[in-house]
Structure 1
Amino acid sequence: MKRSIGRSIPSSDSLIIFDACVRFMNFTQAGNSVGLTQSAVSRQVLDLEQFLNVALFERSGRHLTLTASGKEYWEKIAPLLDELEAATVRTQMRHTLRNTLNLSVAGSFCNRWLIPNLPNFVKEHPGILVNVTSRVGHIDLSRTQFDAAIINSPTRPPGTQMTKLFPLSLAAFCAPSLLNERATLSAKDIAALPLLHLKEMPEAWSEYLAALGLQNVKVEAASYYSLLLLSCEAALAGLGVALLPPEFVTEDVRTGRLVRLSPMTIPTKFSYWFTWQATEERSDALIAFRHWLEARCQ
């Protein structure tokens, strides 16, 4: 029989055939599972027994029973075969895994920025697969299946690798239908329109109007929205004027679905961050996506 070069062990084929015989306790069925005839399997088992100098099976017609030595040997090699197969599959999959990125993305950023821009990344990196999950709130990457995340945070998140994408600033946008064909609006004109508010930034409109020179004005709220995404959709529907990140509505302004009411932009305490697990730093997919993301946002 064949033996492993330089090792006092039988060939892997012999061990695989022996394992199949134990699992089926039938040479014919074992042969079907590995693509060999009954006689070929029987010959392989006999060669293995001669190599080991022990009987592995007791044969009674077509009935097989493991000997004590056969049972002991199989119990030792079966886990090793499983481990060898698993190690082989992991190695085979390494290229695929290194070219896949599981990404958690803040909800508004996901819908209003990432998805519209993602086709550019796919075009530039056709071999990389990005799996995207939209998420609201804090995320602990060490406790999830995600390799990286894009988050909205007022401060630098602790304990992870990260890069800042851009600070979150706001400008006023609305649907053209609210303007009644007016070309320009004063601060008082803007304040008189239905204003859409964000629950996380309730003072944003007061700050915006103050930046336009309108101090101590009573701001009336048309509606409150919990997410920038919802506020944006409300503005597109003509429900009022929303304070939105200009980066989120570039295409809407270009196509005339939204109108920017003033060049004024106000800062917020929030920024968007790209963060990843330190264990993923050598991932080809992560490196490519991070570089693309930084270049795109800057």
Structure 2
Amino acid sequence: MVLRPDWLPALSAFESAARHQNFAHAAEELNLTASAVSHHVRKLESRLGVVLFQRHARGVTLTAEGRRLADASGSALADMEGALRTLRGDRDEEHRVRITTLHSLTYTWLMPRLPDFAAKHPGIRLSFDTESALTRFDEGGPDLGIRHGPGHWPGLASHRLMDETLFPVASPRMVGFDAIEVAADIARVPLIIDHARQGWHDWFRFADVHGANLDERYSFSDTTDALIAAANGLGAALARERVVVPYLADGRLVALPGPRLPARWSYHIVWPAHRRLRPAAQVFVDWLLSVPID
């Protein structure tokens, strides 16, 4: 079958509808009406002689045939977008990926793994934004982000990257370190907190330590600062498993007695649901999902 030029609008409407699983969202992306998107899809179904979507009260879902066409059309349109950027002379931006993420995760977990990415993909340039405020994914903004949270954000596609646990740590130089033998003893030393949703009260409850008068003496907005404060002997910190690894490895911090508390939130890779990841960004996402977590 020869692909005629007049098929392109219908294929474009179908690809957007398949990506969103929603005709109205596709219409918003393409500056069309939902009925126009529906018309394009029905026209494509008629020409192909197959049903591409199952329609139901809550929206639409792809059929097996629809999924095959969605995979092919999405890949083809992404390739075309890449070629157009190159023809416009936008070579640098074509191979640059902008990532918004947490400073603590970048510094301790991501940075040690980046040489592997650089060796495998030397042509891709990476730009990181580690501001604490949630970045808007506007046009010209970041391609993707790594967020710590419940996994659901309005307007964003989300893919779970890894879970984590929380446990207490302190420097061997901390006053009172040698007297800590059980979890209850930690309540007797100065405590360091950050702005995480789970904190010392959650951990002591999980450790079955009740009624302790906690001295939360130092507070930091950033997890990295909290761990550095602990490494300098100011008190005990409640560490995140993924972030504390280098501090434990070089002995600046030591795990204290007590259980590991499963975190309510996980790390997720996110990107705008209304647009496809550019090829270079997709390469970075695929690499993130392939690297060893521990």
Q: Give the alignment's TM-score, normalised by structure 1.
A: 0.62
Map of 2:185 onto structure 1: 189
- 144, 151, 154: which one aligns with 2:147: 151
Q: SS in structure 1 opposite 2:214?
A: coil
- How many residues of Structure 1 are paired with residues of Structure 2 in the alignment? 211
Shift of 1:260: 0.8
Quote the residue 1:117 is aligned against.
Answer: 113
Counterpart among 191, 216, 221 of residue 216 in structure 2 = 221
Q: Among residues 125, 128, 131, which one is paired with 2:127 in the alignment?
A: 131
Instruction: Tell me the residue number matched to 1:27.
Output: none
Q: Which runs of 5+ in 1 are unaligned?
A: 1-86
CA distance in 2: counterparts of 1:231 and 1:127, whole angstroms: 36
Shift of 1:225: 1.5
- Secondary structure of the structure 2 residue equivalent to 1:110: helix
Aligned equivalents of 2:128 and 2:195: distance in 1? Answer: 26
What is the CA deviation profile of residues 138-197 of structure 1, one whole-angstrom value per residue up to 9, with x for unaligned ones? 222135521111122234112122211223431111112127673962112211121112
Q: 1:233 aligns with which of 219, 228, 231?
A: 228
Aligned residues of 2:169 and 2:239 also touching (Cα < 8 A): yes
Show CA shifts across 1:60-111 (max 9, x none): xxxxxxxxxxxxxxxxxxxxxxxxxxx9884164654442201111232222
Q: Take 2:189 and 2:258, find their aligned partners in 1: how far apart are those partners?
A: 17
- Contact 2:157/2:272 (CA < 8 Å) preserved in 1? yes
- Give the aligned CA root-mean-square deviation in angstroms: 2.8
Unaligned runs of 5+ in 2: 1-82
Per the alignment, do residues 185 and 265 of structure 1 end up closer, same or farther by CA in structure 2, a change over 3 Å counting? same
Distance 1:184 1:239, change over 3 A: closer
Pick from 254, 263, 266 the counterpart of residue 268 of structure 1: 263
Partner of 2:5: none
Q: Percent identity?
A: 24
How far the C-alpha of 1:247 sits from its partner, in A, is: 1.0
2:240 to 230, 245, 261: 245
Alignment counterpart, residue 211 of structure 1, candidates 206, 209, 222:
206
Residue type matched to 1:142 in 2?
D
State the Cα deviation string for residues 225-261 of structure 1 (Å, max 9, x = none): 2121221121122111111111112122112111011
